[in-house]
Chains A and B, each alone.
Chain A
Amino acid sequence: MPAVTRGGVRIDETFAEAFDMRGTAVLITAGAARWARQAAVTMTGFATSIIACGCEAAIDGEVPASATPDGRPGVRVLMFSGSTGELQKQLQARVGQCVLTCHDTACYAGLSAAETLRMGDAIRYFGDGWQISKRFGGHHYWRIPVMDGEFVCEGTTGLTREAVGGGNLILMGRSAAATLRAAEAVVAAIAEVGGAIAPFPGGIARSGSKVGSKYKALVASTNHFYCPTLRGAVQSGLDPDIVSVLEVVIDGLTPDAVTSAMRAGLAAAVALGPERGAAHISAGNYGGKLGRHHFHLHELLP
């Protein structure tokens, strides 16, 4: 595959193929930032891939107390799914089971949009008739009595159809430690970009997948092209000196957010150089026929 070199790092002239998704965001606050973070972590724990989690979700960033509706420290969470119906189902289940249940938290819309998803409007029924509706400042909130006081939850949050899922960078290194260092640098750079998340554990996926399997029941299976332990047995995408590969998958509320995140990630990986970080960087695609969004690496180079 043709490639360019930046700072000694080989970057394939290829593209990440990404898909249209439905996206939403919520803002969780609590008296102590620790409990807002706890609710966000719990809510996004099992949300790495829509293949089996129903949605992809992660923390977008922390929000200072001065910028939240109730003046308490907050955390913004982004959620993505393939359909409005599934996103609604996941939002309701995750706010209901992970935020409502979490000590001292309140939950607000994290996205303002013409289309909305039901949040407090659905969870209010937990109040068993004692829930209180409050409208002020152009927002509608529900107050639901719970054992430590009240759970305050905004009625709806915004839904966007502009969201994009599946931006990615594949990082290949000459040692496991160097590959991990590159992946962590990419994740740290993406964390600084608003409106984009890396939903896998710690932002990093080690089990990159391909479409289909030899087993009829599976829709996805291991991406043998990048598995170092299979390199002699299959057609491999690995240079002879590569021993470990990690992937960072990126979802964003807009195509621009994914572009910014991939650009920031590439710059961070390239800055490490081929010895301390990744020696070779590529991106995953399906030939360009499945996803509408193509993020070409050579257009995003530092």
Chain B
Amino acid sequence: MSGLRFELRDPPDMRLDLSPLVPDRLAGMDRAAIERIELGTSRMSRRVGDVFGVHTADCECIAIEGGSARFDWVGAGMRSGELVLDGEAGLYAGRQMAGGHLRISGRVGGWAASGLRDGHLEIGGDAGPFLGGPLAGERAGMAGGIVVVRGNAAERAGDCLRRGLIVIEGRAGPHPGSRMLAGTLIICGAAGASPGYLMRRGTLVLGAAKALLPTFVPAGEASGAFRRLLAGALTALSPRAARLVGRAQDRFMGDMASLGKGEILVPAPATLRFR
């Protein structure tokens, strides 16, 4: 990769805030200025130069070589360009992203893609709890854009999802799609307990589920035109998700304990299995 590179020197000794290391915030800065950026989150200072070896180049394309579970806010607020983290990340990766392409090769902590509005976040490993979910006090979670998780997701993935597309290629923990307002959440593997808990609108596609809440009612099968349309849009993002959506799906509407205009699609025949 020929862009700006940050090479991790040693594992960090405190949690770091990496939100300044995004293309639009580094534009026009020289190496000395970049090395002075403060990343520390305690009373002790940790500047970019203390943590990373910096190799300057075009900052539209940034690579961070070496990750850590203590790297919080990776790509937060990013609006354009490309950021690649080779390794794992901590909390709030891609928080409130509004554009660009963020790729993290390893696993990420909780609240990744929280408040994401536009752009594309790809997570090579597993995702922590509340993927795309809101922080305490916020009314809605992710509001646009695309998130693809190649591994599994922990509990409450897609909580309060408002708009946009989340694909989890592996399994999901308990309550995926809880309180969804709209949008699309696709889980290629098995979903944890009570998927779609209190969802209002939106589409939740599951590769498998042990049971659905009794407040989800059978509602025929998913229309072929819509499934094919969605599968077509997924082909480039996740062939696995495209294959799942391409298969015949039974449709359940709910959560009737809430507005009840959401839907869960599971491979047919599911109606007899759940009822």
User: A residues touching B (Cβ–Cβ < 8 Å)?
Assistant: 29, 31, 69-72, 104, 106, 130, 132-137, 141, 143, 149-150, 152
Contact = CB atoms under 8 A, between A and B. Distances in A.
Contacts of A136: 165, 184, 230, 233
A120 to B, nearest CB: 12
22 contacts: A31-B224, A69-B229, A70-B226, A70-B228, A70-B229, A71-B228, A71-B232, A72-B228, A106-B229, A132-B203, A134-B184, A134-B203, A134-B226, A134-B230, A135-B163, A136-B184, A137-B233, A149-B224, A150-B223, A150-B225, A150-B226, A152-B226
A137 B165 CA distance: 10
B201 interface: yes
Query: At the interface, is chain B mostly helix, strand, loop or mixed?
Result: mixed
B141 to A, nearest CB: 16
Nearest to A153: B225
A29 B230 CA distance: 15
A35 to B, nearest CB: 12
Interface string B164-192: 11000000000000000010100000000
Interface of B: 144, 163-165, 182, 184, 201, 203, 220, 223-226, 228-233, 261, 263
A134 B233 CA distance: 12
Contacts of B163: 135
Nearest to B203: A134
A143 to B, nearest CB: 6
Nearest to B183: A135
Contacts of B263: 132
B192 to A, nearest CB: 25
Contacts of A69: 229, 232
A70 B230 CA distance: 8
Query: At the interface, is chain A mostly helix, strand, loop or mixed?
Result: strand
A143 B224 contact: no
Q: Choose among A29, A69, A70, A130 the residue with the greatest number of B CB atoms under 10 Å from its CB.
A: A70
Given A143-B226, A152-B225, A70 B232 contact: yes
Contact of A133 (B182, B225, B229): B182
A152 B165 contact: no
A242 B261 CA distance: 67
A31 B164 CA distance: 27
A97 B165 CA distance: 32
Contacts of B220: 149
Given A130-B261, A134-B203, A135-B163, A152 B223 contact: yes
Contacts of A71: 228, 231-232
Contacts of B230: 134, 136
B225 A106 contact: yes
The 9 closest A-B pairs by CB, nearest first: A137-B233, A150-B223, A70-B228, A106-B225, A149-B223, A70-B229, A152-B225, A136-B233, A71-B228
Given A136-B233, A137-B233, A70 B225 contact: yes
A29 B229 CA distance: 11
Contacts of B232: 69-71, 137
Q: Choose among B144, B163, B229, B233 the residue with the greatest number of A CB atoms under 10 Å from its CB.
A: B229
B261 A141 contact: no
B161 to A, nearest CB: 12
A106 B228 CA distance: 11
Nearest to B220: A149
A136 to B, nearest CB: 5
Contacts of A104: 225
Contacts of A70: 225-226, 228-229, 232
A104 B165 CA distance: 26
Contacts of B228: 70-72
Contacts of B225: 29, 70, 72, 104, 106, 149-150, 152
B246 to A, nearest CB: 9
A72 B246 CA distance: 13
A135 B229 CA distance: 11
A104 B225 CA distance: 8
Nearest to A130: B261
Contacts of B201: 132
A106 B230 CA distance: 13
Nearest to B231: A71
Contacts of A31: 224
A215 B182 CA distance: 60
